[in-house]
Structures are given as C-alpha cells and as structure tokens.
C-alpha cells in the first residue's frame, strides 16, 4: 500500500441505536505509522466508531476502509490485519495469563511453539511475568488491560485499535501503557486510540480528532488545535492583587487583544504574537510603575481550553470509578 494512503479511513459514518444517534457522519483518517487520537467525552461515539472499524458492528451509512479493505465488504481481510483492545478487557478468567495468550495465538493460526514463544515475549514486555501462571480471575484492572493488550498483539497486527486503554488505570500503569504504545509505533504499527484524557492525546497522538455527539468538531495536531483556541498568550502574575487594574493598562500595550483579568490568582492574560524580548519589556514597564511581578511567561492554550471553547463544556477529567481492587496476592493460594 502506498504510504500516502491512510491505513484507516472513514467517511460519513452514521449509527443509530433507537432514538440515539451515536454517530452522525464521522470522518477520520489514520496515516501509516502514526497515532490518531480520537478524543471525546462519555457517549461521544468513540466505542461505536471503533466497533464499526473493527468489523464488530455495521454502520447505518458511510464507508470505512482498513488496510485498504472495506470493513463491510471484506471484514475477514480487515480482521487479519488488526489488533483490538476493548474498553472493557476481555480475558478468559479461568485461564492463566499465559494460557490466554497461547489460546489467542492458536486462534490466530500461530503454531503451538510460535504461540508459546510470542506469549513469553509479550508477558515480559507487558510486565506480567510474575503473574503469567496464575489464573487471570485475580488480576487487577491494570493487569487485565495489559493482558488484553498482549492478546491483541499476539499476531503482530500492523494496525491496532485501543479503546480507552488507560481509563481507570493508576498513574504508574498509565505511564507504562503510554511507553508501550510509543514502542509499538516505533516498531512500525499504526494506532487508533480513543481517550477521554487530554494529556494522553497531547502526549501520544500525531493527529487528534475531537468528537462530540457523534461528530468530529475539530481535528489537527495538538499544536494546531491549541492554535485554534487563540494561539499563544502572555500571562503575568502580580505580587499585589491591588495592582491589577493599573497593570492591565500597561499590559494592554503589549497584547493583540483584550486583557483578561483573573483576580483570584492576581493574573492577567492577553494574546500576543511577537515574543522577542517581550518578557523583559513587560517587566521593565511594570517595574517603572512600581508594580512587582511574581511570575510571567508566554503560554500556549491547553487542549482543555480547546474543548471548552468548542463545546462550552469541560471535558470530564473525573477519574473512572473503576479501580484495581483485586489484590493478586489473595490468589497465591489458588
């Protein structure tokens, strides 16, 4: 396949569940060797899109190709080339981690010995060696996620779909998952990743599609999206809040738009373009009026600002209530 052709390409995807329009004409494209982050709040349509792209559900309208094959016309060709990790880890609880992987390997037509070798390799890579020979029933949430991911990697798929791979993981497990995802891309995979976490999309994704109510409402690199939210701005934090009004008049002269005041933090913000020597000039001008500064800098908006601006809502940053409650040690007697 020519590298210019996206490995996942969807156009106008629609899906209804009764009255609910889960997808309302979604377009997206994942380029070879990249990570596409599909970012959206609960119910935005992320899982529905992944299910259609991975041939687990049919679209009501629109088309999608994966590895050049139409997902509706040639689902078996698509399945041979993808790995899928669902939002809810699906592992056989009565089997050990290793048995789960070997079974998946054999389903994927690896020979028995290839499946065993690959399973060992992935158990090591996913930090599951110690738990490999325990039944997975007692795995923590994070361990299940990793086992589920290992299962999807058994057949070395070139295209990987990860549906909220870190939801509910503790910070350490999340960091490990991020490193693993980066490794996968370095070794040549292309990844479509859904997430509710802005910092996850920001760190991992080459391209981001923000979806809300089944539609893409913005797309681009993290930097492009932040640019859309107003580009860079000067932020000045004053030592004495009573100086805010006077400082505002001075800062106005350096900005390219209105000065916003944030009295709670003694802070002023204004959009700026040229930044050469700007900070020194601002400090000098304020100092000349006897106004002391605690902190100042030129900052880019975050993806939070982008989402807020586009939807008027904050993308929920609540941690999932799903946590790692099962202690593996409880199972050492099993």
Ligand X SMILES: Nc1ncnc2c1ncn2[C@@H]1O[C@H](COP(=O)(O)OP(=O)(O)OP(=O)(O)O)[C@@H](O)[C@H]1O
Binding mask 249-278 for ligand X (x = CB under 6 A): ------------------------------
Based on the shown chain and the rule CB under 6 A, indicate whether residue 165 belongs to the binding site for ligand X. no
Of 40-48, 98-106, 222-230, 291-299: span binding ligand X (CB under 6 A)? 40-48
Indicate whether 46 belongs to the interface with ligand X (CB under 6 A).
Answer: yes
Instruction: Output 47 or 136, the one with its CB closest to ligand X.
Output: 47
- Rank residues 249 and 316 by Cβ distance to ligand X and give the closer one: 316
User: Which partner from the list Mg ion, ligand X, none does 45 bind, CB cut-off 5 to 8 Å by kind?
Assistant: ligand X
Count residues contacting ligand X (CB under 6 A)?
Answer: 13
Q: Which of 25, 5, 37 is nearest to 196 (CA)?
A: 37
Beta strands in the chain (DSSP E): 8-17, 20-30, 35-39, 61-66, 69-70, 82-85, 159-163, 190-195, 207-212, 215-220, 233-238, 260-262, 267-271, 293-299
Burial of 313 (0-12, 13-18, 19+ CB in 10 A): exposed
Stretch that binds ligand X, among 16-24, 140-148, 287-295, 316-324 (CB under 6 A): 16-24
Residue 134's alpha-carbon distances to 91, 93, 139, 192, 326, in angstroms, are 13, 10, 8, 31, 13
Taking CB under 6 A as the binding criterion, the range among 39-47, 125-133, 183-191, 264-272 that sits at the site for ligand X is 39-47
d(CA 19, CA 6): 32
Is the CB of residue 157 less than 8 Å from the CB of residue 82?
yes
**CA-to-CA dists, residue 265 to 200, 240, 315, 317, angstroms:** 27, 10, 23, 22
Q: Return the residue of 6, 37, 40, 105 that touches ligand X, per CB under 6 A.
A: 40
Contacted entry of ligand X, Mg ion, none for residue 301, CB cut-off 5 to 8 Å set by kind = none
Say whether residue 45 binds ligand X (CB under 6 A): yes
Any contact of residue 221 with Mg ion (CB under 5 A)?
no
By the rule CB under 5 A, 47 interacts with Mg ion: yes
Q: Which residues contact 245 (CB under 8 A, 6 or more apart)?
A: none
Chain positions contacting Mg ion, by CB under 5 A: 46-47, 87
Chain positions contacting ligand X, by CB under 6 A: 17, 20, 22, 40, 42-48, 87, 196
């Amino acid at each position: 396949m020519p590298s210019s052709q996206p490995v996942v390409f969807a156009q106008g995807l629609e899906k209804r569940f009764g009255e609910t329009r889960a997808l309302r004409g979604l377009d997206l494209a994942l380029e070879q060797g990249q990570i596409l982050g599909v970012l959206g709040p609960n119910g935005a349509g992320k899982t529905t899109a992944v299910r259609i792209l991975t041939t687990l559900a049919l679209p009501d309208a629109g088309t999608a190709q994966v590895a050049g094959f139409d997902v509706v016309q040639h689902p078996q060709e698509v399945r041979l080339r993808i790995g899928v990790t669902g939002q809810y880890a699906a592992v056989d609880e009565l089997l050990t981690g290793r048995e789960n992987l070997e079974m998946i390997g054999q389903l994927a037509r690896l020979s028995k010995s290839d499946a065993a070798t690959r399973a060992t390799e992935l158990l090591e890579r996913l930090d599951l060696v110690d738990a490999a020979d325990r039944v997975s029933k007692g795995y923590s949430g994070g361990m299940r996620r990793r086992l589920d991911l290992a299962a999807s990697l058994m057949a070395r798929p070139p295209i990987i779909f990860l549906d909220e791979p870190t939801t509910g993981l503790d910070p350490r497990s999340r960091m490990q998952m991020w490193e693993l995802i980066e490794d996968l891309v370095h070794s040549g995979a292309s990844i479509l990743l859904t997430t509710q976490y802005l910092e996850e999309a920001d760190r991992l994704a080459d391209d981001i599609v923000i979806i809300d109510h089944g539609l893409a409402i913005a797309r681009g690199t993290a930097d492009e999206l932040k640019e859309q939210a107003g580009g860079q701005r000067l932020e000045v934090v004053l030592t004495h809040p009573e100086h805010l009004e006077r400082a505002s008049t001075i800062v106005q002269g350096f900005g390219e738009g209105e000065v916003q005041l944030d009295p709670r933090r003694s802070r002023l913000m204004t959009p700026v373009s040229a930044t050469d020597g700007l900070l020194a000039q601002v400090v000098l001008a304020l100092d000349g009026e006897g106004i002391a500064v605690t902190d100042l800098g030129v900052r880019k908006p975050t993806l939070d600002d982008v989402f807020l601006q586009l939807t008027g809502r904050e993308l929920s940053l609540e941690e999932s209530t799903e946590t790692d409650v099962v202690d593996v040690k409880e199972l050492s007697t099993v």
